[in-house]
Amino acid sequence: MLDWLKSRPDIHSLRAAVCDLNGILRGKRIPVDQASKALEGKLRMPLSISGLDVWGEDIVGNKLVFSTGDADGVCQWTGRGLLPMDWTAHPTALIPLWLTEESGAPFLGDPRQVLARILERYKALKLKPVVATELEFYLVDPKPERPRGPISPVTGRRLDSDAALSIDEIDDFESFLHDVYAACRAQDIPVDSAIAENGVGQFEINLNHTDDVLRAADDAILFKRTVRGIARKHGFVASFMAKPYGKRSGSGLHVHFSLLDEDGVNIFDDGTARGSDTLRHAVGGLLAAMAESTLVFAPHFNSFRRLRPNSHAPTTVAWGYENRMVAIRIPGGPTAARRIEHRVAGADANPYLVLAAILGAALIGIERHLNPGEPATTDVYERDLPKLPPDWASAIASFESGSMVAEIFPDALRGSLVACKRQELETFALRVNNFEFETYLETV
């Protein structure tokens, strides 16, 4: 790593950061000559930074702050990087870190450590998850006060229609996409295909599958940061909000996964389109845990604008084969590639927590041989099926009381996430928006 830095004399400072509950990187700008300090585990930061709210404020009553004197943890290098970021005003690079206790034990309020703990349970069973992610985002014009479609760099016209799978739209933004792909290659982020999605200025870029699940979550975090940085360079804002436009498509974080045994055989494949009993048990676990883990998949006030009927986003606890209306889809194709697609998470969710929730619930389903019931073959929005929590407050309460999420997430993280989201919910509840004034001020 230090040899790489010597090859980049244009880099004078670095970013050393950990990922918090909201998927936001928090850390320090350090001089290049302190790189070895960060790489060797000699950098310290407060453990409480993993549990700040979305505005970067301390959580009221957070034990990590007020009961312990806001004690430091030890920042350990994840082994990934240095990661060049050449879209900033001056070229820099990121050193990704995660938190441990003073004793060296993993700090279980750190989302990356929590995912690592789930993976240890798979390793004990001699199973290896293989995952891939699909991330959607919007490019918007940064000048108006509210989001509007971007202006095409080619035609000079503002985008104003849902040009799903438009090659012309891909071509119009080729310069932006080219730079995104180049920056991802420089960081070894395995980007695959890109499409114009079903929204004004909405795109989807898939990341290739890998059996290194921690790396897959790292890739998703780094990809979001890269896209936002390259968008600024091109005069746009890139938004991973779940629903930036009330009447347009939402943006999701879809996760595909399969399981390999110690011989590298996909245990979801039984040679048929149905898939193995193990696949169905995994689906059973995902369905059983879905309502109480919805807070992980929809962690913000805006997230629940996406989870609405007839929106291509799930609202019911249902599964099916080749059915994009359900929460858990089993894609078709060659049986050797049999896998599960989890479609609940929004693009605004924390990838570490999303993968922990999905893999943790699937593992419980496999261990307990949970039955998923019959797959849905019709419009699930019109059927009398169990529902996801309808709003943010319900999702928080369900996560707090859920017995399955208690098996997946350690107490430190569960308590921190619940307190964080309650504080954010209260903050939103105190804000009266313009539409409320327009509707009620002199009417009621």
Task: Give the DSSP per-residue string, 144-176.
Answer: SSS--PPBPTTT-PBP-S--TT-HHHHHHTHHH
Q: How far is CA 313 from CA 297, 307, 346, in A?
A: 12, 6, 9
Q: Quote the CA–CA distance of 386 and 310 in Å, as a whole number.
A: 16
Is 186 in contact with 194 (CB distance < 8 Å)?
Answer: no
* Residue 66: pLDDT over 80: no
The contacts of residue 29 (CB under 8 Å, 6+ apart) are: 13, 14, 15
| Higher local confidence (pLDDT), 239 or 386 | 239
pLDDT at 138 over 90: yes
pLDDT for position 389? 96
Question: pLDDT value at position 311?
Answer: 74
Has residue 176 got a pLDDT over 90? Answer: yes
In the prediction, which pLDDT does 380 show? 67
Distance CA 319, CA 145 (A): 40
* The pLDDT of residue 307: 92
Q: How far is CA 157 from CA 64, 122, 150, 234, 316, in A?
A: 51, 51, 8, 16, 39
3-state helix, strand, coil in the chain (%, to 5): 40, 20, 40
State the pLDDT at residue 69.
65
Q: Which pLDDT value is given to residue 65?
A: 65
Average pLDDT (229-233) is 96
Q: Which domains does the chain have, with CATH numbers?
A: 2-109 (3.10.20.70), 119-409 (3.30.590.10)
pLDDT at 254 over 70: yes
Q: Are strands 13-19 and 25-31 parallel, antiparallel or unpaired?
A: antiparallel
| pLDDT for 211 | 96
Provide the pLDDT for residue 217: 98
Question: Is 270 strand, coil or helix?
Answer: coil
The whole-angstrom separation of Cα 1 and Cα 379 is: 53
Task: Please check the confidence at residue 401 and state whether its pLDDT lies above 80.
Answer: yes
pLDDT at 64 exceeding the cut of 70: no
Choice between 97 and 170, residue whose per-residue pLDDT is larger: 97
Report whether 257 contacts 361 (CB < 8 A). no
Lowest mean pLDDT among 84-93, 293-302, 377-386, 434-443: 377-386
The whole-chain average pLDDT of the chain stands at: 93
Residue 360 pLDDT > 90, yes or no? yes
| C-alpha 179, offset from chain centre | 22
pLDDT value, residue 288: 97
What integer is the mean pLDDT of 285-311? 94
Q: How far apart are CA 392 and CA 8, in angstroms?
A: 46
Token pair of 360 as six digits: 């943790």
Q: Is the pLDDT of residue 382 over 70?
A: no
